Every structure is written in C-alpha cells, then in structure tokens.
Chain A
Amino acid sequence: MIPYDFAYFKASTAEEAVELYQSLREQGKQPVYYAGGTEIITLGRMKEVYTEAVIDIKGITECQTLQLEQNQLVMGAALPLTKLQEANLFPLLSQTISEIADHTARNKITLGGNLCGNIYYREAVLPLLIADTDVVIAGKSGRRRIPLNSIFDERPCLEDGELLTQLITQSDYLGLPYYSVKKRRQWDVGYPLITVTALKKEGKIRVSFSGVCLFPFRSERIEECLNDTRLNPDDRIERAIQHLPKPISNDVEGSPEYRLFVLKNTLLDVLQALEGETYAHN
C-alpha cells in the first residue's frame, strides 16, 4: 500500500498537463507525470518516490501516436512497450524492448517512463541514442523538438514541469544492420548485467550501453576506437574500454571485473556481427 495520499488528474492534451503541473507547483505541491505508473507505485510503496498529485498522461493523443509519416517514425511517449514491440517498425528497438521486464509488465511500462524513470537501466534509450532520435518536449514556454543526444546526460535532462511527448526517428535508420544483446547473471527475465545495442551506419559502428555503469550511455570515443580498422579487433576493444565512464557498476549482478570480461566478449560479438567476420574469443 502506498503510505501517503495524492490527488489524481487525467490530462487530455500536453498543454493541459503542463498547465496543471505549473499551477500545482504554484500552490506549493509536488506533482509528477503519471505514465505507466509502475515506478511511481512500486517506489512510492517504499517511500522512495513522493508526490502530492499525479497527472495521468495516457489520455493525451499525441503521447499515444505510433506512425510512419514523412520518412520518420513518430512514437508517443506514453505508448506501452508491448505496443511498440509488436508493431516492430524499428526492429532494433523492438528487440531491445522485448528484453525489458516481462511481457505483462511491458503492457504497462511506457517508452517515456522507461527513459525518464529513476531506475537507471533505461534500456529503451539505447537504440534511440544511436539512431539520432529527436525528442518533442512540451513545457511552459511551448513545444520544442531537439536531438535526444543533446539533452541526454545519464538521463533525459528535462526542466521542472517539462513533459516528453514524442520520440521521432528518421526512417533511414530503421532498417540498418543492428545487434542487440542483454546479458543477465542468470534466468531470462530481470535487470541486466550489461545490455549492448549497436548499429552500422555508413560503414561505421555505433554502440550504446546499459548496466555497465550506473547510467546508460553512448560514447563517440568508444565508437572511434571500435571503428579503427587498422588495428585487430582485440586491440580495438582494449582501447575502447579505456574510455568507459567510471566507475563500473559493482552490485549483485556482478563485479566490475566480471562486467568488463563479459563486455569485451560482447563487443567482439558486435564487431563480428556487424563486420561479417569471424573473430576468436580469448
């Protein structure tokens, strides 16, 4: 049971949600946008999230959009993960999403919730970072569309009261060769030891990670090292991992040493899959 009370509002447009948020703020309240609500409920139960008012965004049409239009894929932030997975318009995203939580939970967890939540894996962001996806954000001064990479630093850096409404990926990224793998310590469901997604654009490999550190990330320095084909694959990987953000996670899923060992092997799999060569694991 959630040990505190809150008001419940349901918004039908992004403007209404943002205005409501501002007015609650002005009344000295602590509101949150409520998408799937799974994190607000589960962390709320343990008092790790506190709110005085939830603003349900599932009734906002633009947040439920899923369509290919004018050479771009528009994805509403309040879409449940299963809907995106089943539509399979962006196969790399579908495959990555299919490993998040479990099927029933994915009926409730939303794309925007996964990106904006406190639970730091945020695995759905990985394909979006390497596919140069744009985000549409509604705030008190209106709406803006900007590259996700320009506001992503461990998480989407939104200002207080800003609402993520849509994610937009250009069609030419949707069919690129890709690789996506989630390595768990055990079983087929659960948080990752590491998750790696990669795709190849104009002959260059792009790669993003979750589980390696306490936040998901993409690194251009790592990509430069991996793409330096003058070197052999092992040397490229050794150089690449010198650029990992620090510290490497150390938790029940695995030690930093174990994570690095698995990561190196996984990067070899990425190179093998996207360069079409066979490389021997050490």
Chain B
Amino acid sequence: MHTTEITLEVNGETRSVTVRNADTLLYVLRDKLGLTGAKPGCLNGDCGTCTIDVDGNPMKSCLMLAVEVQEAKITTVEGLKYSSLQTEFVDKFAFQCGYCTPGFIMNANALIKQYPHANDMLIKEWLESNICRCTGYKEIEEAVKSALATAQTVLRQQ
C-alpha cells in the first residue's frame, strides 16, 4: 500500500496522520481526524456538501487528495466556532434536514471574507456550487445576505 505520513494544519491545530496517497481529504478529515462537519454527498464534485476552506478559498474536499494539501491552512465548519454567519442560519431557519448546511456555510464564509460587498450576481455565482435537497434556497440566501450586511457594518466601524 502507498502511504505517506503527512502533517496538516486544520482549524489552527497541527495534526499528523498516515494516509493512503489515494485518500481524499474528505475521507481523512472525517475518518482519520474525527472532523465530521464536511459531509459526503455525491463524492463527484457536484453537490458541495463536502466544502471546506483551504487558504481562504472554498474547496470541495471530495475533489482533493489529503497528500496534496500539506502546506495549506484548512478550516472546516468545526473551526468557525459560533460565527455570525452560523447565527444567521439559525435565525433565518436556513436549513431543514441540515445535511447541506456545513458546505453552504463554508462557501458563504469564504465569500464574505473575500468579498464583503458581494452583489447579487456574485452571491449567486458562488452559492450555485451547493445543492440543498430540502430546497431551502430562499432562507439560505437571506441568511447569507444578512451576514454580509453585518460584515459591512463591522467594516464601516473600523
């Protein structure tokens, strides 16, 4: 078996783990590091439920090998720790079964950080990467827009 001992920086912690080179990052996060926030959905890059943050960009962890992200900073939904975006999702009822929620949150979190003044077109372009089987799109959009408005207020006050 081809394995490699790798060191990953996940949610601000350094974690060492031995992986098969063929293991996806999604599998390693969940089954080796116990971080089950990123969810397996299609495993094919289509649904976005496995989305995490790699160096500030949303990435589908089913489309990455764990061995290729050794120098990167990885954040999963566990690393957000009660962000205002998460509060907005609760307040706006932006989930039903909740399976898609971590993926939407990680994608929207990166959007807010990179483009706090994102317009409707940009929000649509980014969030199109995620699918909600319960079709809670309206509420998700409201939660993201509300978190963007909060981010803009914070920026104005700085």
Instruction: Provide the residues of chain B in CB contact with A34, threshold 8 Å.
Output: 68
Determine how close the nearest CB of chain A comes to the CB of B25; give it in whole angstroms: 10
> Digit string of A54-87 for contact with B (CB within 8 Å is 1, else 0)?
1010100000000000000000000000100000
- Partner of B43 from the list A4, A10, A45, A103 (CB cut-off 8 Å) is A45
Instruction: Provide the residues of chain B in CB contact with A36, threshold 8 Å.
Output: 63
Interface residues on B, range: 20 to 34
When C-beta atoms are compared, the residue in chain B nearest to A85 turns out to be B125
Determine how close the nearest CB of chain B comes to the CB of A118; give it in whole angstroms: 15
B62 at interface, CB cutoff 8 A: yes
When C-beta atoms are compared, the residue in chain A nearest to B65 turns out to be A37
Instruction: Provide the residues of chain B in CB contact with A58, threshold 8 Å.
Output: 68
B91 at interface, CB cutoff 8 A: no
Instruction: Provide the residues of chain B in CB contact with A1, threshold 8 Å.
Output: 22-24, 27
Interface residues of B (CB under 8 A from A): 1-2, 4, 20-24, 27, 43-45, 48, 51, 57-60, 62-65, 67-68, 107, 125-126, 128-130
Instruction: Assess A42 versus B129: contact at CB under 8 Å? Given A8-B2, A56-B68.
Output: no
Chain B facing A: main interface SS: mixed
- Partner of B45 from the list A7, A8, A54, A105 (CB cut-off 8 Å) is A105
B2 and A7 within 8 A (CB): yes
Determine how close the nearest CB of chain A comes to the CB of B60; give it in whole angstroms: 6
Instruction: Assess A189 versus B2: contact at CB under 8 Å? Given A41-B65, A104-B51, A105-B45.
Output: no
- Partner of A7 from the list B21, B64, B68, B128 (CB cut-off 8 Å) is B21
Interface residues on A, range: 20 to 34
Q: How far is the CA of A8 from the CA of B19 in the complex (A)?
A: 12
Interface residues of A (CB under 8 A from B): 1-2, 4-8, 10, 34, 36-38, 41-42, 44-45, 54, 56, 58, 82, 98, 101-105, 107-108, 188-189
The 16 sampled A-B contact pairs (Cβ below 8 Å) are A2-B24, A5-B2, A5-B20, A6-B21, A34-B68, A41-B63, A42-B43, A103-B58, A103-B129, A104-B58, A104-B60, A107-B57, A108-B59, A108-B60, A188-B128, A189-B128
Determine how close the nearest CB of chain B comes to the CB of A187; give it in whole angstroms: 9
Instruction: Assess A44 versus B22: contact at CB under 8 Å? Given A8-B4, A37-B64.
Output: yes
Instruction: Provide the residues of chain A in CB contact with B21, threshold 8 Å.
Output: 5-8, 54
